[in-house]
Chain A
Amino acid sequence: MSASGSTPGRVWPLLRRDGRARIGLAVVVALVLAAVLAPLVARQDPTAIDLAGALRAPSGEHWLGTDVQGRDVWSRLVHGARVSLAVGVLSQAISLVLGVALGLVAGYYGRRVDDLVMRLADVTLAFPTLLLLIAMAAAFEPSLTTVFVTIGVVGWAGMARLVRGQVLVVRHMEYVQAERALGAGDARILVRHVLPNVIAPVVIAATLGVAGAIMAEAALSFLGLGVQPPTPSWGAMIADGRDLAQLRRAPWTSLFPGLAIGAAVLGFNLVGDALRDALDPRAVRRGETPTEAGTPPAGRR
């Protein structure tokens, strides 16, 4: 009965038929399971150092081998999923809240508010993202929180622009005018009528944004500015194994975290692309609802 309640209902069957979506969802679900069940799946303590057993090749005991300090790569990979996923989801949550709120306000009220918010967004977007991330990580104590807050705060601008553009279209729709004529306040109009009609592209952008955030976190950790050791992180794991001699002897130390990043990014991108197609109203109509043909019986008059 709720306003947006119908959307998942219409989108789900479309997603299930889409091959890309199935692959993407499988990857994302696997990632989430790994992160949630990490202690069960890991088999070994990801921080347990065993210098005698360093750089062992993959075997029955160490599925993906061991790193230079003798830590189990599989266990670190699984625990690293927690970091990647946490950064991806939390940073996008921050971007989403900031971007949607500011974008709604800018697009709906226009004029000075719009100018202010959009110039702020321009300034944010004018910074090279990675440099800004490095500067922030250097300025504050590098930690998981710093990483996702930074990525999230930097990401608001793109989201706000997207939302504003949609709001500019929707706010002139006659159903918004009708709601004003009924005597609704701005808050009611924004939440019940504008937001549900601008949310689809936002969901897509946030999904794709998770992939971007995972990449950004890996890059920061690779540079040593992300999550600090001994907490396992995919970017830091690649960095640990990047010594050329070691890379020749024990490629598994960098290869598997690299593959994990690639798979995670690909998974979220596939889901995002499939969502984009499924949320397109024309696609919905083509596939799902026979609009003119059958459903509405004629009025009684």
Chain B
Amino acid sequence: MNEPTSARRSALGAPVAPLLSVRDLKKHYPITKGLFGKTVGHVRAVDGVSFDVAAGETLGLVGESGCGKTTTGRAILRLIEPTSGAVRFDGVDLLAQSPKQLRALRRHLQIVFQDPFSSLNPRMTVGATIREGLTIHRLAEGAQAEQRVRALLDEVGLRPEYASRYPHEFSGGQRQRIGIARALAVEPKLIVCDEPVSALDVSVQAQVVNLLQDLQRQRGLAYLFIAHDLSVVEHMASRVAVMYLGRIVELAPSEALYREPLMPYTQALLSAIPVPSPGGARRRIVLQGDVPSPANPPSGCVFHPRCHHPAKDAACARLVPPLEEKAPGHWAACIKQAPTTVDWAQQQAAGGTNPPSRYLPVLTGTP
């Protein structure tokens, strides 16, 4: 895979020098058996993920449950130790840092969690929770810290007096705001948002999404926005990466991805979004079968058993499709979607019978 690392246009299409750069990130969990824990296989939760996030940008990371998007987010923060790969943040190799160095760097990368009920310590006041980061990184203490906490609560749309209350006194949306304030306290440059609105009511979802966007504008934050809901990501992200079975299968500017999805998998995901207008029903692509086990992924293209691409053939089961730039800034991993660097001769050698062809399903009712 050719990956130009020039500053102006980096490998996976981020428009400027990347703040975060992830290369071939892998997290394999060993499957052990027997009394002595002999390793009999690996669950490939994340299997070679690469992308960039520019400063101030939002990259959406979407996929079904179990596709490895949460593991990816946590491996970048080293909350889970990755098996291999490279993570560079602001020019620093995060995976090469000692525990002590890493702790100091952590204030620049923060995380907001999905579950508003387990993400706050029930025995700590909201103010104490938000102040943790200030204390750990010696950013403020005493009355000054008190002042910062109140300002942060105000910034996320909560009353400063709430600092002395306990988490159980708040609703899900309010707790999520508290989690955001905790992350903001250490003034990060990047926040991994791990499905921050999935557990909330739809009306509250919009409020939290708007809050995140306001904060991004005011503070120049970059987000890695993980979600299983494409419609939320469409609203938030400038670029979107689609994950399937531990790999990125498509990565494109948000607008291009929603207008012209190149991967059959993305097309199926998009067709599942309900259309608000009664006349504008789109053709629904229903995927066959279940997501295969990441302990025993299909050969070749991991999506091929469920794929509906008309040119699908034996070559798809043999050749691992590289993530290629099919159109400017629009990357996809499919050897049947022209243009592709896997040429027709190679495909024929692998048992291919259908040459690559640009295939776009009819999606009526999309903007």
**Which residues of B have CB within 8 Å of A173?**
118-119
Mark interface residues in B92-129 (1 if CB within 8 Å of A CB, else 0): 00000000001111110111011100111111110011
Q: Is the CB of B123 within 8 A of A299?
A: no
CB contacts (< 8 Å) of A192 on chain B: these are 124, 132
Scan A260-301; emit 1 where CB is below 8 A from any B CB, else 0: 000000000000000000000100010001011001110111
The reply on B330 being an interface residue by CB < 8 A is: no
Q: A300: which of B136, B157, B183 is its contact (CB, 8 Å)? A: B157
Tell me which of A175-183, A212-220, A225-233 binds B: A175-183
Given A175-B120, A299-B158, A300-B157, residue A181 in contact with residue B169 (CB < 8 A): no
* Cα–Cα distance between A296 and B125 once the two chains are bound (Å): 14
Indicate whether B213 reaches chain A with its CB closer than 8 angstroms: no
Interface residues of B (CB under 8 A from A): 74, 77, 79, 102-107, 109-111, 113-115, 118-125, 128-129, 132-133, 136-137, 157-159, 162, 164-166, 168-171, 173-174, 177, 179, 182-183, 186, 207, 210-211
The answer on a CB contact under 8 Å between A299 and B107 is no
**Residues on the B chain within 8 Å of A300, using CB:** 157-159
Q: Are A174 and B104 in contact (CB under 8 A)?
A: no
Distance of B152 from chain A, by nearest CB (Å): 14
- A residues with a Cβ closer than 8 A to B are 1, 3-4, 6-7, 173-175, 177-185, 188, 192-193, 196-197, 281, 285, 289, 291-292, 295-297, 299-301
* B182–A301 touching, CB < 8 Å: no
| B118 near A183: Cβ-Cβ < 8 Å | no
Residue in A closest to B110 when the chains form the complex, CB atoms = A181
What is the bound-complex CA distance between A4 and B186, given in angstroms?
Answer: 25
Known: A174-B118, A177-B79. A182 touches B107 (CB 8 A): yes
Q: Can you show 30 pairs from A to B with CB atoms below 8 A apart?
A: A3-B123, A7-B123, A174-B118, A174-B119, A177-B113, A178-B111, A178-B113, A178-B119, A182-B106, A182-B136, A182-B182, A183-B104, A183-B107, A183-B133, A183-B137, A184-B132, A185-B103, A192-B124, A196-B121, A289-B169, A295-B169, A296-B162, A299-B173, A299-B174, A299-B207, A300-B157, A300-B159, A301-B157, A301-B210, A301-B211
* CB-defined contacts of A289 to chain B, threshold 8 Å: 168-169
B360: min CB distance to chain A, Å: 40
Pairwise interchain contact A296-B171, C-beta atoms closer than 8 A: yes
Q: Which chain A residues lie closer than 8 Å to B115 at the CB level?
A: 174
